[in-house]
Amino acid sequence: MYEPDCNLILISSAELRRQVNVRGWDQRILAREAGVSEATVSRVLAGHPIRGLTALRMVQALRRNPVIPELVQLVEDRGVGPSRNEL
Protein backbone atom coordinates (compact mmCIF):
# COMPACT_ATOMS: atom_id res chain seq x y z
CA MET A 1 0.00 0.00 0.00
CA TYR A 2 1.25 3.52 -0.83
CA GLU A 3 2.01 5.73 2.16
CA PRO A 4 2.59 9.43 1.51
CA ASP A 5 6.02 10.72 2.46
CA CYS A 6 5.63 12.79 5.63
CA ASN A 7 8.98 14.46 5.01
CA LEU A 8 7.78 16.53 2.06
CA ILE A 9 8.04 20.31 2.25
CA LEU A 10 6.16 22.85 0.18
CA ILE A 11 8.31 25.91 -0.32
CA SER A 12 7.31 29.22 -1.83
CA SER A 13 8.01 28.98 -5.53
CA ALA A 14 7.72 32.78 -5.85
CA GLU A 15 10.36 33.36 -3.18
CA LEU A 16 12.65 30.68 -4.62
CA ARG A 17 12.34 32.30 -8.05
CA ARG A 18 13.18 35.69 -6.47
CA GLN A 19 16.22 34.23 -4.71
CA VAL A 20 17.41 32.72 -7.99
CA ASN A 21 16.84 36.01 -9.85
CA VAL A 22 18.73 38.21 -7.38
CA ARG A 23 21.76 35.98 -7.85
CA GLY A 24 21.61 36.26 -11.63
CA TRP A 25 20.91 32.54 -11.87
CA ASP A 26 18.47 30.41 -13.76
CA GLN A 27 17.06 27.06 -12.67
CA ARG A 28 19.92 25.19 -14.37
CA ILE A 29 22.48 26.99 -12.20
CA LEU A 30 20.45 26.43 -9.02
CA ALA A 31 20.25 22.72 -9.83
CA ARG A 32 24.00 22.52 -10.40
CA GLU A 33 24.86 24.51 -7.25
CA ALA A 34 22.46 22.46 -5.11
CA GLY A 35 23.41 19.10 -6.59
CA VAL A 36 19.86 18.30 -7.68
CA SER A 37 18.32 17.71 -11.08
CA GLU A 38 16.87 20.46 -13.23
CA ALA A 39 13.62 18.49 -13.19
CA THR A 40 13.52 18.78 -9.39
CA VAL A 41 14.01 22.55 -9.52
CA SER A 42 11.33 22.78 -12.20
CA ARG A 43 8.88 20.83 -9.99
CA VAL A 44 9.58 23.12 -7.03
CA LEU A 45 9.05 26.22 -9.16
CA ALA A 46 5.76 24.71 -10.34
CA GLY A 47 4.59 24.46 -6.71
CA HIS A 48 5.20 20.78 -5.98
CA PRO A 49 6.51 19.62 -2.59
CA ILE A 50 10.04 18.26 -2.21
CA ARG A 51 11.93 16.18 0.31
CA GLY A 52 13.43 18.02 3.25
CA LEU A 53 16.97 17.05 2.22
CA THR A 54 16.42 18.53 -1.23
CA ALA A 55 15.12 21.77 0.29
CA LEU A 56 18.17 21.88 2.55
CA ARG A 57 20.50 21.47 -0.44
CA MET A 58 18.84 24.37 -2.22
CA VAL A 59 19.00 26.61 0.85
CA GLN A 60 22.67 25.78 1.36
CA ALA A 61 23.44 26.58 -2.28
CA LEU A 62 21.70 29.94 -1.93
CA ARG A 63 23.57 30.72 1.30
CA ARG A 64 26.94 29.92 -0.29
CA ASN A 65 26.28 32.40 -3.09
CA PRO A 66 25.41 35.95 -2.07
CA VAL A 67 22.88 38.07 -3.90
CA ILE A 68 23.99 40.69 -6.38
CA PRO A 69 22.92 43.94 -4.67
CA GLU A 70 22.14 45.73 -7.92
CA LEU A 71 19.75 42.96 -8.92
CA VAL A 72 17.76 43.17 -5.68
CA GLN A 73 16.33 46.57 -6.55
CA LEU A 74 15.86 45.68 -10.22
CA VAL A 75 13.96 42.51 -9.39
CA GLU A 76 11.72 44.38 -6.94
CA ASP A 77 11.18 47.30 -9.30
CA ARG A 78 10.00 44.96 -12.03
CA GLY A 79 7.51 43.32 -9.69
CA VAL A 80 9.22 39.92 -9.63
CA GLY A 81 8.63 38.67 -6.12
CA PRO A 82 7.87 40.39 -2.84
CA SER A 83 9.69 43.48 -1.65
CA ARG A 84 12.25 43.25 1.10
CA ASN A 85 9.68 44.57 3.56
CA GLU A 86 7.38 41.61 2.88
CA LEU A 87 10.01 38.94 3.61
For 72-81, the pLDDT digits (tens) are: 888 765 554 4
For 25-66, the pLDDT digits (tens) are: 999 999 999 999 999 999 999 999 999 999 999 999 999 999
CATH of the domain at 68: 1.10.260
Does residue 73 sit within a domain?
yes
Q: What is the percent of the chain with per-residue pLDDT over 70, rounded to a whole number?
A: 79
Does residue 27 sit within a domain?
yes
Q: How many domains does the chain have?
A: 1
Mean pLDDT, residues 4-22 taken together:
88
Does residue 33 sit within a domain?
yes
pLDDT of residue 74: 82
75, with CB counted inside 10 A (0-12, 13-18, 19+), is buried
Does residue 87 sit within a domain?
no
Question: Which of 57, 11, 8 is closest to 32 using CA atoms?
Answer: 57
Does residue 48 sit within a domain?
yes
